[in-house]
């Protein structure tokens, strides 16, 4: 390996480590519900709801930056600040925590089901014998449990960063495969609600 290629690989690693936490947050904010809802809406309504997608991205960005700034300034999480600085902060923070836990458990169940179905189909396409979805989910749960229990945060962050990069590349590939016209994109930026139920 030459000195130039070593310098390039170091630069790439530094760039990825700088954006890694941001990609981790993107992976946390874009869940299975977002992906499936956006795909279904795009297939059903075309670009007519593009304005809603852009608006949700703006709101998500504003909230992520605001929560990040609050955490940097106070040194405490947003949930801790709600608990200590609001009148009914303890009850509100407990409500938020319970809602987040329930939401995450439901999202995890959805992700496990989707991944198990995809792996089952992938194995079938590779001419493997049929594998029950239960066993696929069990292997995934054991693997994730091991990663979270014995792994470090940095390993988990890197794994999720790779998956978010793959997801982003898939979105870009689909954009070029679908090839929406520029006029459809511009019309999609005008707020409107489709008439269909």
Does residue 160 register a pLDDT over 80?
A: no
Work out the average pLDDT over 42-64. Answer: 87
Residues 6+ apart with CB under 8 A from 94: none
Residues 98-107 pLDDT 10s = 998 898 788 7
* Distance of alpha carbon 114 from alpha carbon 125, whole angstroms: 17
Per the CB < 8 A criterion, the answer to whether 168 and 30 are in contact is: no
Work out the average pLDDT over 107-136. Answer: 80
Give residue 172's pLDDT.
Answer: 82
Same domain, 124 and 173: no
137: phi then psi, degrees, rounded to nearest 5:
-65, -40
Work out the average pLDDT over 29-55. Answer: 80
Q: What is the band of 26 on the pLDDT scale with cuts at 50, 70, 90? A: low
pLDDT top residue among 84 and 30:
84
Give residue 41's pLDDT.
Answer: 83
Domain annotation covers residue 67: yes
Domain annotation covers residue 3: no
What is the per-residue burial (b if ≥16 Cβ within 10 Å, else e) of 132-158? eeeebbeeeeeebeeeeeeeeeeeebb
Question: Residue 58 is part of which domain span?
Answer: 47-76
Same domain, 114 and 69: no
Q: What is the band of 21 on the pLDDT scale with cuts at 50, 70, 90? A: low
Domain annotation covers residue 169: yes
Domain annotation covers residue 30: no
Domain annotation covers residue 21: no
Does residue 189 register a pLDDT over 70?
A: yes
What's this model's pTM, rounded to 2 decimal places? 0.62
Same domain, 121 and 166: no
- CA distances 141 to 32, 111, 114, 116, 195, Å, are 17, 11, 13, 11, 42
Same domain, 114 and 169: no
How many C-alpha atoms does 110 have within 13 Å on its Cβ side? 13
Work out the average pLDDT over 163-174. Answer: 78
Q: Which residue from 85, 54, 51, 53 is spatially nearest to 70, judged by alpha carbons?
A: 85
Number of domain units in the chain:
3
Domain annotation covers residue 29: no
């Amino acid at each position: 390996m030459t000195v130039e290629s070593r310098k390039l690989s170091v630069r790439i690693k530094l760039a990825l480590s700088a954006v890694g936490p941001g990609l981790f947050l993107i992976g946390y904010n874009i869940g299975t519900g977002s992906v499936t809802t956006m795909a279904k809406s795009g297939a059903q309504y075309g670009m007519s709801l593009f304005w809603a997608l852009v608006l949700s991205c703006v709101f998500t960005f504003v909230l992520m930056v605001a929560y990040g700034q609050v955490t940097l300034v106070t040194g405490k999480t947003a949930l801790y600040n709600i608990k200590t600085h609001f009148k009914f902060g303890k009850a509100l923070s407990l409500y938020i925590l319970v809602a987040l836990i329930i939401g995450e458990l439901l999202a995890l169940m959805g992700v496990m089901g989707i991944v198990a179905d995809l792996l089952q189909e992938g194995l079938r396409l590779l001419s493997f014998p049929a594998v029950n979805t239960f066993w696929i989910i069990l292997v995934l749960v054991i693997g994730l449990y091991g990663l979270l229990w014995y792994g470090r945060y940095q390993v988990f962050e890197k794994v999720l960063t790779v998956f978010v990069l793959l997801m982003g590349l898939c979105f870009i590939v689909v954009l070029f495969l679908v090839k929406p016209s520029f006029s459809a994109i511009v019309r999609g930026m005008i707020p409107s609600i489709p008439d269909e139920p």
